[in-house]
Structure formats: C-alpha cells, structure tokens
Amino acid sequence: MKIRKKVVVKNPEGLHARPASELVKALLGVSSEVYIVYKGMKANAKSILNILSLGVDPGAEVEVIVSGEDAEKVIEIVEGILDGEAKK
C-alpha cells in the first residue's frame, strides 16, 4: 500500500532536532518506507540527518510518502509528530 499525504507541520519546533529524533525513534519498528518531501527535496524519514537537511520550519507544508504493509499506521504516527503530539 502506498499513501501520499500533504501535512502542515504544526509542531512549534518545526521538524528540527527534537521532533526529528522523535520521528526516527517512532519509525524504528515499522517495515514501511517513509519519505518527507519539502521544497522539492526528498528525505528518508528514518534518517535524522536526512530530515534535518530539509530545514522544515513550523507552519510549513510537507508531503509524506509511505509505502508498505503498515502504511496506514505509519502515516498516523508521522502526522502525530508533525502536529506536535507523539502518537504511538
């Protein structure tokens, strides 16, 4: 299953060190491939360095692309972190 969804980053820190770290930790056990696209750049959401290289600020719109068996669960996790509330 493949899901593409536009999400506004509501986390007051944007997608910088702390939320990026939370995202990587939350994705450790998932089998899906997860990417974040911002300003034409695509980053592997399982890599903190890739996420930080995007420089996503609060209020920015990103596209989340999830491919795999657990895509629906994974998209919820990613949305929760981007909203500023970790969903497990």
Q: Please report, for the chain, the start and end positions of each structural domain, with discontinuous segments joined by +.
A: 2-83
pLDDT score for 10: 93
pLDDT digits (tens, 9 = 90+) for 1-60: 999 999 999 988 899 999 999 999 999 999 999 999 999 999 999 999 999 999 999 999
- Tell me how far apart the alpha carbons of residues 62 and 56 are, in angstroms, rounded to a whole number: 8
55 is catalytic: no
> What is the pLDDT confidence band of residue 83, given thresholds at 50, 70 and 90?
confident
- Tell me how far apart the alpha carbons of residues 29 and 63 are, in angstroms, rounded to a whole number: 22
Query: Is 18:80 a contact under the CB 8 Å cutoff?
Result: no
Query: Which residue is catalytic, options 10, 16, 46, 73?
Result: 16
Q: What is the CATH number of domain 2-83?
A: 3.30.1340.10
> pTM for the complete prediction?
0.91
